[in-house]
Amino acid sequence: MARQERAIRTRSAVLAAAAQVFAKYGYSAATVSDILKVAHVTKGALYFHFDSKEALARGVIEAQSDRNTPPQDLKVQEWADNGLLLAYQLPRDPVVRAGAVLSADPLGREHYGSAWPAFIQASAAVLAEAKERGEVLPHVVPLQTAELIVSCFHGVQLFSQLESGMSDIEKRVTTLYEHVVPTIALPAVLTQLDLAPDRGARLFAQMESAAAQNEAEADAPEQPAPVGA
């Protein structure tokens, strides 16, 4: 068990280091040597988990799909939450930021893929459920709307990066959703939505609290069975 836990920690350290390097330099300029310096692991340990720079990039892309927001009563809220949480994480989480950099690389992505298709499919699935529940207008085509929001989000992200180093991205993404959501959601749903710029921060805190509670419960010693049970 100790060896398995050590392997998991090593893999996580390598992936986090790769994310930092990819986010800073992009795929083409990043080197395995740069990643080794940040990860503080041996070359053998790195190649045990990832056999190439391409595999490292693919690992960062795949890590994006592990980041899901908590379910909500309103599926339109859940749909918007995905973007609002991502806006909060982009300036703060190297793995999320690296995923965005790698996904937008026109040369590298043909080798390791992109996070965009998974985001689009997940977004379309939530919108389809929202449509089944009668939360969105009849004309809405979930896949088309999902593709639109992902492409618009990328443009907002790039603009924010160039203009402010992403210091205002949460506000800009809120503006995006405030313009898009009224064109797809029923008026009765609109009045119940929370699209505030700090929504992502609150969601992240909620998720961290839940994760910490789950970890504490998992580490808690088992209580002895009552005598005579």
Residue 181 has pLDDT above 70, yes or no: yes
Residue with tokens 């330099």: 25
Nearest to 60 by CA among 28, 16, 104: 16
pLDDT digits (tens, 9 = 90+) for 41-77: 999 999 999 999 999 999 999 988 766 789 999 999 9
Query: Higher confidence at residue 7 or residue 180?
Result: 180
Residue 132 has pLDDT above 70, yes or no: yes
d(CA 111, CA 11): 21
Q: How confident is the model at residue 4 (pLDDT cuts 50, 70, 90)?
A: confident
The DSSP code sequence of 141-203 is -HHHHHHHHHHHHHHHHHHHHHHHTTTTHHHHHHHHHHHHGGGTB-HHHHTT----TTHHHHH
| Fold equal for 2-63 and 66-211 | no
pLDDT at 226: 59
Give the CA angle between residues 10, 14, 17 to the nearest 5°: 140
d(CA 66, CA 35): 22
pLDDT digits (tens, 9 = 90+) for 18-38: 999 999 999 999 999 999 999
pLDDT at 1: 43
pLDDT at 64: 81
Does domain 2-63 match CATH 1.10.10.60?
Answer: yes
d(CA 104, CA 99): 9
Going 131 to 134 to 138 to 140, the CA torsion angle's sign is: negative
Which amino acid type is present at position 143?
L
Q: How far is CA 228 from CA 222, 223, 224, in A?
A: 17, 15, 11
Beta-bridged to residue 136, according to DSSP, are 185
Domain boundary assignment for the chain: 2-63, 66-211
Residue 205 has pLDDT above 80, yes or no: yes
First to last CA, the chain: 31
Residue with tokens 């064109």: 183
Does domain 66-211 match CATH 1.10.357?
Answer: yes
Beta-bridged to residue 185, according to DSSP, are 136
Which amino acid type is present at position 114?
S
Strands in 42-149 per DSSP E: none
Going 140 to 142 to 143 to 147, the CA torsion angle's sign is: positive
Range scoring the smallest mean pLDDT among 19-33, 55-69, 152-166, 187-201: 55-69
